[in-house]
Structure formats: C-alpha cells, structure tokens
C-alpha cells in the first residue's frame, strides 16, 4: 500500500544534486522530475538535470557524474537521483533492464561513495505508474529528493 509523503524540512545548505531522468515514458518520468527538482530547490540545493533516452542509459551517466565528483573534492556532489519508468510487457525485456539498472546503480554508489537514489520503477501497468508518479501525495520524485537530502546529511556527518 502506498503511504502519503510526509512533509519534511531538510536543508540542502547549497548542496549540489544531479537528477538523471529517462525520456522514455515521459508522462510519468517528467512528473517525478518536476517533483524532485522542486523538493531540492525548496531545500536550498542546486540541481543539474541530465536527460537520457531510456532507463538503461542512466547508469553510464551516473558513473560519469560520480567519477567527476570523486576526482574534484572541491566540487562535491551531494547525491544523484535516478528517475525512470519501465512498464512490463509481454516479454522479459523489462525485467532484464530493471535488474541491470539496479545492479549498476548500487555498484556506482559503493565505488564512488556518492548517494545514488534509485527511482527507476519497474511497474506492472500504467495504473501503478499513475499512482506512483502523478499524485501529489504519492510522487516517487518527491520521495527520491527527500532521500537524497537525508543521505547528503548522513554523508556530510561521517
């Protein structure tokens, strides 16, 4: 069951965040992107947005951003938010894409010590996408941004 997004007041203190968003399934991804960007800006953060063709292309961009941030300690990246929607079809293609993206994203955050927030959703149908991406009370973009803000605070405290 989906839970209502609690209102949180987390300050980004000028932190820099990247949002990588798929262009595939734009109705849903664009709604998550708008919500995530608004949440980071509301917290006082800076946002760099990178658009990619589909979910499968997200990890290579996340790797490049994380590597650049890792090599330039004076310009840290507080977090990378990855947004995409994969809808299951008649074949196992969606499952393969979802697993590949998930495995890659976890490796990137471990290797480069940059929080990588995984909101590349593998969904059964458009109804699930509507519930998770288009609502104000259940928008995964907002949740992703809140997680990025919280992880930035955790990482800064270590």
The single-letter DSSP state of residue 74 is: T
Total Cβ atoms within 10 A of residue 67: 14
pLDDT at residue 135 in the model: 80
State whether residue 51 is helix, strand or coil: strand
pLDDT tier, 138 (very low <50, low <70, confident <90, very high otherwise): confident
Q: Alpha-carbon distance 90 to 120, whole Å?
A: 20
Task: From 32, 16, 3, select the one nearest 139 (Cα to Cα).
Answer: 32
Per-residue model confidence as pLDDT tens digits over 48-100: 999 999 999 999 999 999 999 877 766 689 999 999 999 999 899 999 999 99
* Residue 94 tokens, joined: 């969606």
- Enumerate the active-site residues: 93
Please state the pTM of the whole predicted model: 0.92
Phi, psi of 29 (to 5 degrees): -65, -40
**Domain range 16-156, CATH architecture:** 3-Layer(aba) Sandwich (3.40)
Say whether pLDDT at 2 is over 70: no
pLDDT at residue 32 in the model: 98
């Amino acid at each position: 069951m989906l839970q209502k997004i609690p209102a949180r007041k987390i300050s980004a203190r000028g932190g820099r965040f990247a949002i990588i968003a798929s262009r595939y399934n734009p109705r849903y991804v664009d709604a998550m992107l708008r919500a995530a960007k608004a949440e980071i800006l509301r917290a006082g953060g800076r946002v760099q947005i990178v658009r990619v063709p589909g979910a499968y292309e997200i990890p290579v961009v996340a790797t490049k951003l994380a590597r650049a941030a890792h090599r330039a300690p004076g310009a840290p990246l507080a977090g990378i938010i990855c947004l995409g929607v994969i809808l299951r079809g008649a074949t196992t293609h969606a499952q393969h894409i979802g697993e590949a993206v998930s495995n890659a994203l976890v490796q990137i955050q471990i290797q480069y010590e940059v929080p990588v927030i995984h909101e590349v959703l593998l969904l059964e149908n458009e109804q699930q996408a509507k519930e998770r991406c288009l609502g104000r009370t259940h928008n995964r973009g907002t949740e992703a941004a809140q997680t990025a803000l919280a992880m930035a605070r955790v990482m800064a405290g270590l």
